[in-house]
Amino acid sequence: MNNYSLDLLLVPFSIFINASYHFYLWQSCKSKQPKTTIGVTIERKRVWLQSIMSVNDNKVILGVQTFRNSIMSTIFSAAISIVINAALASFASNSYTSSHLFAGRPTFGSQSEAMLVFKYSSVSLLMLLSFLFNSMAVGFIIEANFLINLNEGEVFRANAEGMMMKGVVLSVVGNRALYVGLSLLIWMFGPLAFGLCTAGMLWGFYRLDFTMGE
């Protein structure tokens, strides 16, 4: 039971704090109080899209080029997620071989076979979710790009705006799943390292997410 004590204490607490922070961030984005970087960015993109979908064809070309940059960034995040997920099998095998080096040390938590499988399954699930969300974001952004080129009335503009908003939100969710998955990967070095990594990651998220609200 000693090997599981830190795992049972730090890991659920870190996950709860992580989930609570992102729930608070989601509520802040909806209520716009306090202002968040994500909320301000989404609002700016909405205003930008409305200005792009004007009669001026040059602005439409600029919009297509800007969407291409967003698509490349989202594809890059999806590629990182799937590469990490593919590399987990080899990494898990090496970790299981060297797990005896950490056995018997409470700081590193449990190194049993079942716990190792659970750790890598959790990371793999988050990597796959990140890939899924980023892939869906690419699809929505491409659809918005297509609707911008049509630009045939208010209905197409509303659909383009909706598609772009969905793509932006899914891209943010996919990136957050990637970051949380990377922090779970640190769990391999023990629950203490995972707790410290989660605390540092949330501090960085707070500085990035709420800087514009100051």
User: Residues 189, 190, 196, CA angle at the centre, nearest 5°?
Assistant: 95
pLDDT exceeds 70 at position 103: no
Q: Where does residue 158 rank: exposed (0-12), middle (13-18), buried (19+ CB within 10 A)?
A: exposed
Which of 92, 98, 79, 96 lies closest to 123 in space, CA to CA? 92
* pLDDT computed for residue 213 by the predictor: 46
Bond preceding residue 106 cis, omega within 30 of 0: no
How would you classify residue 103: left for phi > 0, otherwise alpha for psi between -120 and 50, otherwise beta? beta
Q: What predicted TM-score, i.e. pTM, was given to this entire model?
A: 0.82
- Quote the CA–CA distance of 110 and 7 in Å, as a whole number: 7
Please report, for residues 5, 33, 112, 194, 199, the alpha-carbon distance to residue 12 in angstroms, rounded to integers and kept in the order given: 11, 28, 18, 11, 13
Backbone angles phi, psi at 34, to 5 degrees: -75, 165
- Quote the CA–CA distance of 104 and 108 in Å, as a whole number: 8
**Selection from 56-60, 63-67, 68-72, 146-150 with the highest mean pLDDT:** 68-72
pLDDT, tens digit (0-9, with 9 covering 90-100), for 167-202: 989 999 999 999 999 888 888 888 888 899 999 999
Backbone angles phi, psi at 202, to 5 degrees: -70, -35
pLDDT, tens digit (0-9, with 9 covering 90-100), for 12-52: 899 999 999 999 999 888 887 768 888 888 888 888 877 77
* pLDDT computed for residue 117 by the predictor: 79
- Quote the CA–CA distance of 88 and 101 in Å, as a whole number: 20
pLDDT, tens digit (0-9, with 9 covering 90-100), for 115-138: 777 888 888 899 999 999 999 999
- Quote the CA–CA distance of 198 and 203 in Å, as a whole number: 8
